[in-house]
Amino acid sequence: MRVTNPEIIRSVTKEWKGDRDSNGRPLVPDDILDRMKLVTTEEAWGTCRRNGYHFQFTGDWLNLHPDRVIVGRAVTCRWVPTRPDVHGSLIKQGEDENRIGGQNSWVIDELEANDLIVVDLFGKVLNGTFAGDNLATAIKSRSDTGMVIDGGIRDTQRIFQMENFNAFIRGVDPSAIADVTMTDINGITRIGEATCVPGDVVLGTRTGVIFIPPHLAQEVVESSEAVRLKDEFGQQRIREGI
């Protein structure tokens, strides 16, 4: 058993023709990520749907800062309720790979600039708090984006005070993470009603979170820019009474 499987990542993202990291994860260029910050959820959703991707959006989040948009390349991890044989095997695998700290630290150590951590904790909040303020600080320092957690966080007051950072979560609780095991890093992950693949461009807005396949990211941005230009011209004419 391997915590990360590069062969699977390359196989499921074969439509991506650009750069990849050492584990095969697609690396959408920073320029596209910067332009993505002006894209609306509906615009991204429309492009995904036209291309046959119908399950990329998930809503009903606790969004710590609704005024802050987050964009980044997905780094995923998946958790399950603990059972001793699985947990022991994965802890041994982590030791063999020289991973340090708790399992939630393993995936944080994988983050690079403009990555965005996506955590499948099956909606668990009580004892499902993936990060407190210390790990949130580590996430921010490594990625400078935010976090999407289908689970909980703790130390919410301090995380809320962090600048240029945002979190999409299912809830908050003072408890520490317990009775769960991380089964993989950068695997195919279900978040709510959506499927997230490593390297997807994550766009988090007031509306919710959408996972954009990397090979569609440029199309999403260019389509949005064309719509924006057209709408700005049309709205200007309306204001002028034309």
pLDDT per position as a tens digit, 125-136:
999 999 999 999
215 C-beta neighbours (distance < 10 Å), count: 17
pLDDT per position as a tens digit, 36-65:
999 999 999 999 999 999 999 999 999 999
pLDDT score recorded for residue 62: 99
Phi then psi dihedrals of residue 113, to 5 deg: -55, 135
Following DSSP, what letter does each residue of 177-242 receive, concatenated?
A: P-SEEEEEES--EEETTEEE-TTPEEEE-SS-EEEE-GGGHHHHHHHHHHHHHHHHHHHHHHHTT-
pLDDT score recorded for residue 1: 46
pLDDT per position as a tens digit, 187-231:
999 999 999 999 999 999 999 999 999 999 999 999 999 988 877
Higher pLDDT residue, 242 or 99? Answer: 99
pLDDT per position as a tens digit, 59-106:
999 999 999 999 999 999 999 999 999 999 999 999 999 999 999 999
pLDDT score recorded for residue 2: 64
pTM of the model: 0.94
Q: Is the pLDDT of residue 176 over 90?
A: yes
pLDDT score recorded for residue 89: 95
Decide: 118 and 58 in contact? Cβ < 8 Å.
no
Angstrom distance (rounded) from CA 110 to CA 96 = 16
Q: Is the pLDDT of residue 7 over 60?
A: yes
Domains of the chain: 6-239 (3.50.30.40)
3-state secondary structure of 98: coil
Higher pLDDT residue, 238 or 175? Answer: 175
Q: Pick from 189, 175, 182, 22: which is nearest to 99 by CA?
A: 182
Phi then psi dihedrals of residue 103, to 5 deg: -60, -30
Average pLDDT over residues 2-6: 81
pLDDT score recorded for residue 230: 79
pLDDT per position as a tens digit, 141-175:
999 999 999 999 999 999 999 999 999 999 999 99
pLDDT score recorded for residue 3: 76
